């Protein structure tokens, strides 16, 4: 390649000034021509960075869910996922498949991942101190969802969002007293199918129910069996209770719809009409149980809403912002029973 070398020739001062002026004009002209492009590049770069900042999750929440043991649990998980999307929360949800050790491992992963907030539904009340102390030492606030824990240590959790299970038990007991009065019963023999042993709903629903009927001498609890909130266990428990007490059973008090729906076919198999030969009381208020209530095969369903997601997200944002939160948040709940026109009960959504 030959490089064209430009010859240098001597010039007078006017020519030099003209040359300089031409160069400055050309530079100014060029700058004006490329300035919009430069501005566009900076603007797009700035927007991209802003967009990246916009897309970054505003809050990273680690949630350990117990499992998928009931329609209630599935509805609870769905609501938390829906509300996380609405509140622009990046949700790390782990299903523990009914094992406490899986929940503890999940919480440790959330700590390692440095999430902003940890939330979980403790399958049982005991055994959380060590892992919650690790979360506290990592400076990560913890919200209890649905169920509570039992601990002697202060400050391990910030808040519990969930039903007043004791009140649910009381509402079930108060319904039974009204029902016994309406049927002029002078003997009320009860069998109880409980939820997971040492879980908050099991302990408090039982306590509330027993306290509500304690003053009524007609009431006798023949036996309580742990059905673990599972449909299959509800059927097994009912079969065993029917074999042991048969005709002697006046009332079945079941701690959740899943176990109730498992028990009903066993009652019918044994030749009894649930809702007529036996008073059936259940808790949760899912669609399936409400449909059976409308058929008259269940007499009372105490509501326990699984829709806790909105309160969870609002509380998580407050904790991330360093704001105070209520230590306990209870949703409003009602009783559905054969004392009302059940055809008017709207769809339940879980
Ligand atoms: O009653 C049951 C679920 O903790 C309130 O757990 C929840 C209970 C609910 O398995 O269906």
In this predicted model, what pLDDT tens digit does every residue of 75-118 receive, in sequence order?
999 999 999 999 999 999 999 999 999 999 999 999 999 999 99
Which ligand 1 atom sits nearest the alpha carbon of residue 163? 5
Residue 346 lies in a domain: no
> Do 124 and 228 belong together in one domain?
no
68 in the same domain as 157 = yes
What is the per-residue DSSP string for 254-288? ESSHHHHHHHHHHHHHTT--BTTTBEEEEEE--HH
pLDDT score at 6: 34
pLDDT at 17: 61
Over residues 300-311, the mean pLDDT reads 98
Whether 82 and 112 map to the same domain: the answer is: yes
Report how far ligand 1's centroid is from the alpha carbon of 32 (Å): 70
Mean pLDDT taken over the chain:
91
Rounded to an integer, what is the distance from CA 155 to the centroid of its chain?
A: 22
Based on the fold, state whether residues 102 and 207 are members of the same structural domain.
Answer: no
What pLDDT was estimated at residue 44? 54
55: tokens are: 């897309």
Locus of tokens 């808040």: 159
Out of 38-42, 149-153, 157-161, 343-347, pick the least confident. 38-42
CATH number at residue 228: 3.40.50.2300
Residues 122, 205: one domain?
A: no
The preferred substitution site among 65, 144, 146 for testing ligand 1, maximizing ligand atoms within 8 Å of CB, is 146
pLDDT of 66-76, one tens digit each?
Answer: 999 999 999 99
State the pLDDT at residue 25: 63
Pair (156, 268) in one structural domain: no
DSSP-assigned letters across all residues of 125-169: SSS-HHHHHHHHHTT--EEEESS----SSSSS-SEEES--HHHHH
- Neighbouring CB atoms inside 10 A of 4's CB total 4
Report the separation in Å between the CA atom of 77 and the middle of ligand 1, taken as the mean of its atom positions: 12
In a domain, 314, yes or no: yes
Predicted confidence (pLDDT) at residue 298 exceeds the cutoff of 70: yes
Per-residue pLDDT at 47: 57
| Over residues 220-227, mean pLDDT | 98
Question: What band does 13 get if pLDDT is binned at 50, 70 and 90?
Answer: low
Q: Which of 169, 256, 290, 333 to mutate to test the pocket of ligand 1 (most atoms within 8 A of CB)?
A: 256
Query: Residue 311: pLDDT above 60?
Result: yes
Q: Do residues 65 and 136 share a domain? A: yes
Rounded to two decimals, what is the model's pTM?
0.85
- pLDDT of 50 above 60: no
1 pLDDT higher than 50: no
Q: Residue-wise over 142-158: b if at least 16 C-beta within 10 A, else e?
A: bbbbbbbbebeeeebbb
Q: How far apart are CA 121 and CA 63, in angstroms?
A: 8
238-267 pLDDT per residue, tens:
999 999 999 999 999 999 999 999 999 999
Q: Tell me if 210 is assigned to some domain.
A: yes
121 Cα nearest atom in ligand 1: 4
- Residue 202 belongs to a domain: yes
Pairing of β 300-303 and β 251-254: unpaired
Among 65, 72, 172, 231, which residue has the most ligand 1 atoms within 8 Å of its CB, making it the best to mutate?
72
Ligand 1, CB within 6 Å, residue ranges: 69-70, 72-73, 146-147, 163, 201, 229, 256, 258, 283-284, 304
Among the listed ranges 11-20, 149-158, 188-197, 203-212, which one has the minimum average pLDDT value?
Answer: 11-20
Residue 9: the pLDDT is 40
Q: Closest by alpha carbon to 254, among 302, 327, 192? A: 192
Q: Are residues 181 and 204 in the same domain?
A: yes
Domain, as residue range, for 241:
165-304
Number of structural domains (the chain) is 2
Q: Are residues 140 and 213 in the same domain?
A: no
Residue 131 in domain:
yes
Same domain flag for 239 and 224: yes
Closest-CA residue, ligand 1 atom 8, reads 201
298 and 312 assigned to the same domain? no
Say how many Å lie between the CA of residue 74 and the centre of ligand 1.
10
* 22 has a pLDDT exceeding 80: no
| Percent of all residues in the chain with a pLDDT value above 70, rounded to a whole number | 84
- CA 326 to ligand 1 center in whole angstroms: 23
Tell me the two tokens of residue 20: 């300089």
């Amino acid at each position: 390649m030959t490089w064209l070398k430009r010859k240098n020739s001597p010039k007078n001062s006017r020519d030099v000034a003209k040359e300089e002026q031409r160069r400055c004009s050309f530079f100014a002209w060029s700058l004006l021509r490329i300035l919009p492009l430069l501005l566009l590049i900076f603007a797009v770069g700035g927007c991209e960075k802003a967009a990246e900042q916009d897309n970054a999750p505003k809050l990273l929440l680690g949630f350990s869910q117990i499992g998928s043991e009931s329609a209630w649990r599935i509805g609870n998980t769905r609501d938390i996922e829906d509300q996380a999307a609405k509140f622009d929360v990046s949700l790390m949800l782990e299903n523990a498949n009914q094992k406490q050790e899986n929940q503890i491992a999940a919480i440790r992963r959330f700590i390692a991942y440095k999430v902003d907030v940890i939330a979980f539904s403790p399958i049982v009340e005991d055994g959380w101190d060590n892992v919650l102390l690790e979360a506290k030492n990592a400076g990560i606030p913890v919200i209890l969802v649905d169920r509570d824990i039992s601990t002697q240590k202060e400050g391990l959790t910030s808040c519990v969002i969930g039903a007043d299970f004791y009140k649910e038990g009381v509402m079930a007991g108060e319904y039974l007293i009204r029902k016994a009065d309406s049927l002029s019963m002078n003997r009320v023999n009860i069998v109880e199918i409980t939820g997971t042993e040492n879980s908050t709903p099991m302990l408090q629903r039982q306590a509330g129910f027993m306290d509500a009927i304690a003053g009524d001498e007609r009431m006798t609890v023949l036996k309580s069996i742990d059905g673990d909130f599972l449909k299959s266990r509800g059927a097994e428990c009912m079969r065993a209770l029917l074999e042991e007490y048969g005709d002697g059973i006046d009332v079945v008090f079941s701690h959740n719809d899943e176990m109730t729906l498992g028990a009903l076919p066993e009652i019918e198999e044994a030749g009894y009409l649930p809702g007529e030969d036996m008073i059936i009381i259940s808790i949760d208020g899912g669609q399936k149980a409400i449909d059976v209530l409308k058929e008259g095969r269940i007499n009372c369903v105490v509501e326990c809403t699984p829709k806790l997601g909105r309160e969870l997200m609002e509380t998580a944002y407050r904790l991330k912002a360093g704001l105070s939160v209520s230590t306990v948040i209870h949703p409003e709940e009602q009783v559905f029973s054969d004392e009302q026109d059940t055809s008017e009960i709207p769809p339940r959504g879980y």
